[in-house]
Structure formats: C-alpha cells, structure tokens
A = this chain, B = another copy of it.
C-alpha cells in the first residue's frame, strides 16, 4: 500500500523559506507513516503582502490542487490562507489553513492566545478570520514583530520581545503569524515558559489526524 500524501503548499516562490518550512516538518515524518511533501508555487510572489497577492496566490493554489489529485490532505502554508475556500471545492481531501489549525490548537490548550504578526495590515485580516471561526474573544492580543538588524539572533530577540508583550496582555500560548519561523519554536518556548505554536506544524499535525483515520 502506498502511504497517503500530505501536500504542503507554500504560495511563496521563496526556495529558502520553503526549505525552512520543510525542515520544521521533519518531526512529523514517521517511518512508514504518511508522506509529507512541501513545495513552493514557482510563479508565486516572494512574499505574500498585498490583497492582490492573496487573490493571485489563491488561484495558483487552486491550480496546484487540481494538478495533484493524489493528495490525501492539503495544507496551505501561508498565514493569510490564500485560496482556502477555493481549494475546498476542488478536492474531497481535507484542505487545512495554517492559521485555522494554529488557533484551534491553541484554544484546546489554553484560555487566551497571542499572535506575532508581520505587519499592522495583516492584523485586520487575522481578525476577520477569527470572527469567522467564532473565537475572536479568545485572542489576548496581536503584536507586530520588530527586528533590529539582520540575521537569526536579531530575529530571535524580536520574537522574544513580541512574546513578552503578548504575555503581558494575558496570552497563555503564542502563535507564529507566519510560516517562516519553525526553527525558533523550541527556543522561544524555553525563553517564554509557555507553549509556542508553529502554524504549519499544527496544520500538518491536523492533516495527519485526518489521513490516518
């Protein structure tokens, strides 16, 4: 029997970012278990920033889903979840958005969550989605990541600061509002002393649950 395939679609064309997401999923790869394949949309934008990006990526995600009918589950590895509703109409397989998965996991674990966002503009987008899920009032707050300088250390310092701001607002668990940070999850959990959720890991975990059952 062939292992079921979990297809992780990064709407960004950034190869290094896809590689980072891919490495973050190694812990979820079980020998003999479902296959987890992670790839970039080749003609996607490097970063998904604008509403136009989201519409355009939505259509590209749809094409990718049509091209891979063998997938037993699909994960859309962008916190803006481009094409989620569209993809759901194209396959009988479950299609999981990483924001949904992260938030629902957080709610099953703790009272209130905080989100580290990449921009002010994305926060209003996230709130629209929280209202759709029906759990806006479980959000302790959302804060924009600030980086001073380049490199992983500057990034980690910014993540710690953002996490502490969210804890001060009452967050019991912190969610990365971006798919690019799995390498920092464990270290940030230790620094903050509360759970940190990487959204792509959460979504692939939920996909595992679906394809195994």
Q: Please report A residues at the B interface, Cβ cutoff 8 Å.
A: 27-28, 30-33, 50-52, 54-56, 58-59, 62, 83, 85-86, 88-89, 94, 96, 100-101, 104-105, 107-109, 111, 124-125, 127-128, 131-138, 198, 201-202, 205-206, 208-210, 212-213
Contacts and interface: CB of A to CB of B under 8 A. Distances in A.
A30 B34 CA distance: 9
A54 B202 CA distance: 28
Q: Is the interface of A mostly helix, strand, loop or mixed?
A: helix
Contacts of A133: 107, 135
A52 B56 contact: no
Contact of A209 (B56, B136, B137, B202): B202
Copies in the assembly, this chain: 6
Nearest to A135: B134
A135 to B, nearest CB: 5
Nearest to A121: B89
A105 B52 contact: no
Contacts of A111: 124, 127
Contact of A128 (B52, B62, B100, B132): B132
Contacts of A89: 50-52
Given A108-B101, A108-B206, A208-B212, A62 B52 contact: yes
A135 B135 contact: yes
Contacts of A134: 107, 131, 134-135, 137-138
A186 to B, nearest CB: 9
Nearest to A128: B132
A27 B85 CA distance: 28
B85 A51 contact: yes
Contacts of A85: 51, 125
Nearest to A133: B107
Given A198-B213, A201-B209, A202-B209, 6 more contacts: A30-B212, A101-B108, A111-B127, A134-B134, A205-B208, A205-B210
